[in-house]
Copies of this chain bind each other. A is one copy, B any other.
Amino acid sequence: MNGDGATADTMTIRQMCDAFDVTARTLRFYESKDLLAPIRSGTRRLFTRRDRARLKLILRGRRFGFTLDEIGELLDLYDIGDGQATQLRRTLEIASAHLASLEHRRRDLDEAIAELKAQMEWGEARLGRKGARAAPRPLPETPRPAAPGA
């Protein structure tokens, strides 16, 4: 048989590192933060399907700039199972706030993409018509200082 502790449903730490492109240190760190809870075979960690699902969510949260603490809250959402109704309501409140945050980010993101595309088209136009002397492209509008005596 293959010597390592991995079964059909569990993975060793190295397999996890390869599958998700993270370091072992990172996985141990997440465990210390209670984001993951691999089982043990002797002293060694074995990561379950649940750990993999959670890690996937952690990595996505990270790409959005959530802190690990915030991600921990979100993870609990996927992990209720049998909480009381009160606890469930509270969780839904947190989820609702996070959803609003995500949708706000989405609007920002759309705006950023549109502006970046516009900038790039401007740049490409300059490369195309080499001699073109366009006016220095306008910067987005920003708050003006308020006249105190108005």
Give residues in A with beta carbon < 8 Å to B.
2, 6-11, 15, 19-20, 49-50, 52-53, 55-57, 60, 62-65, 74, 77-78, 80-81, 85, 88-89, 91-92, 95-96, 98-99, 102-103, 105-106, 108-113, 116-117, 119-120, 123-124, 126-127, 130, 136-137, 139-140, 142-145, 147-149
Distance A116 CA – B77 CA, assembled complex (angstroms): 9
Chain B residues with CB below 8 A from A120, complex form: 92, 95-96, 99
The quantity of this chain's copies bound in the complex is: 2
Say how far A22's CB is from chain B's closest CB, in angstroms: 13
**Given A92-B123, A92-B127, A106-B110, 16 other A-B residues pairs in contact with their CB atoms under 8 A:** A7-B145, A8-B145, A52-B143, A56-B140, A60-B112, A64-B105, A77-B116, A77-B123, A80-B123, A88-B123, A95-B120, A95-B123, A99-B116, A102-B109, A102-B116, A106-B109
